[in-house]
Amino acid sequence: MAGAPQGGAEAFFERLVLAQHRQGLDVLAVIRRDVGRAARLSAGGVAPVELPFGGPFDFLTGRRLRATLEAFRPQVVVAWMNRAARYCRAATPSSRPWTLVGRLGGQYDLGYYRGCDLLVANTRGLCDWIAAQGWPRQRLKHLPNFAADLAGAAPAALAGPRRILAMGRLHPNKDFPTLLRAMARLPGDAHLSLAGEGPERAALEALARELGLGGRVDFLGWRQDVGALLAGAEMLVVPSRIEPLGNVVLEGFSASRPVVATAADGPREVIEDGRTGLLVPIGDDAALAAAVAALLDDPARAQALAAAGRAEFEAHHAEAPVLAKWRLFLDAAARIDA
């Protein structure tokens, strides 16, 4: 996995690798150099191999990756997103001593995955998109993500009498400007805590000032204490324009918090509108504000949504059911004639 230091797909890679190790699988994690990720994996018993995974003139990573894989002798190699897939393809000899699997978390350029034997996607909608690009259905598998079980976390001290939480990279895809505009429509006792970092932070802070939100918005930076943040909030809001899955939605379910989200691809697949959460149109700050206000004004309804979301998490997005699906998939992948 050669992704960024932070991000939902990167965080799930860590959770999956560590859970598979605890389950007894013989797992080797090969990652782009990152002190924090290496420390977290090592603390969980999976000492990673760290490689540069640089640009087109990085000739070292390919040779070292191939030597690492040949020494480990895996049955299955999972390439986690684009850059890893490019390097894994180059490191896989024509004799194919292992099955090469590409794992996608969005509508990526499938050119990176040429030469993969199988592809894995984390939503059914993404599987449909991949198949529509011409990838054979029989070589494609849907495997959902799981979130950590956050029940019972001690609450973080969040500001405000009515505490709304949003989390994610401060990037245009997450559309936090729409959330800030929705906040300006809500009563003055509603307070937003926004956990995340990214290139949009300065613009978001400026917009908050322009909207007169003053002390009603806290920018928390990147946080690892997701369970504590959710425990300290009354609800989770996910305003994304582009969200292939939305691990944060699963975390909200896990923590028994009502979730209000825009109807991007991932939330629309995971949330049953009106039962496990509320969906609103993308980019519609008025609709977003109305949905948030409805739950603030109706605690019983908010609690019912939270309970249904928790049940959905336990059935489909907790560690045990997802690990079981991964185990069956890997067992089958190890037996295919690549």
d(CA 7, CA 18): 17
Q: Which of 301, 302, 338 is nearest to 117 (CA)?
A: 338
Mean pLDDT of 122-136: 96
Cα angle value 132/134/135 (rounded, 5°): 100
Contacts of 175 (CB under 8 A, 6+ apart): 239, 240, 241, 262, 282, 283
Strand partners, 259: 236
pLDDT at residue 338 greater than cutoff 60: no
Output the pLDDT for position 223: 92
pLDDT at residue 6 greater than cutoff 90: no
What is the enclosing helix (H) or strand (E) of 126? helix 124-132
Percent of the chain with pLDDT over 70: 99
Output the pLDDT for position 129: 96
Phi, psi of 231 (to 5 degrees): -65, -30
pLDDT in tens, 138-151: 999 999 999 999 99
Label residue 71 by pLDDT band (50, 70, 90).
very high
Residue 19 tokens, joined: 């859970």
Q: Is 316 buried (19+), middle (13-18) or exposed (0-12) by CB count in 10 A?
A: middle
Label residue 331 by pLDDT band (50, 70, 90).
very high
pLDDT in tens, 209-252: 999 998 999 999 999 899 999 999 999 999 999 998 888 999 99
Strand partners, 221: 195, 196
Higher-scoring residue by pLDDT: 267, 7: 267
Q: Which amino acid does the sequence have at 164?
A: I
- DSSP H helices in 135-264: 176-185, 201-210, 226-231, 247-254
pLDDT in tens, 91-118: 988 888 999 999 999 999 999 999 999 9
- Asked if 195 and 122 touch (Cβ cutoff 8 Å), the reply is no
Cα angle value 148/15/138 (rounded, 5°): 105
- Size of the chain in residues: 338
d(CA 33, CA 1): 10
- Domains identified in the chain and CATH numbers: 8-145+319-335 (3.40.50.2000), 162-317 (3.40.50.2000)
CA distances from 165 to 98, 179, 242, 246, 307 (A): 44, 11, 19, 15, 18
- Average predicted confidence (pLDDT) for the chain: 95
d(CA 54, CA 61): 8
pLDDT at residue 66 greater than cutoff 60: yes
Output the pLDDT for position 337: 65
Output the pLDDT for position 180: 98
Output the pLDDT for position 186: 98
Output the pLDDT for position 336: 83
Which DSSP letter does residue 217 get? E
Output the pLDDT for position 93: 87
Strand order in the sheet with 278-280: 217-221, 190-195, 162-167, 235-238, 259-262, 278-280
Strands 49-51 and 76-80: unpaired
Percent of the chain with pLDDT over 90: 91
For the chain, give percent helix, strand, coil, nearest 5.
45, 15, 35
Residue 147 tokens, joined: 């979130």
Label residue 45 by pLDDT band (50, 70, 90).
very high
pLDDT in tens, 275-326: 999 999 999 999 999 999 999 999 999 999 999 999 999 999 999 999 999 9
Output the pLDDT for position 293: 98
Residue 197 tokens, joined: 């970092």
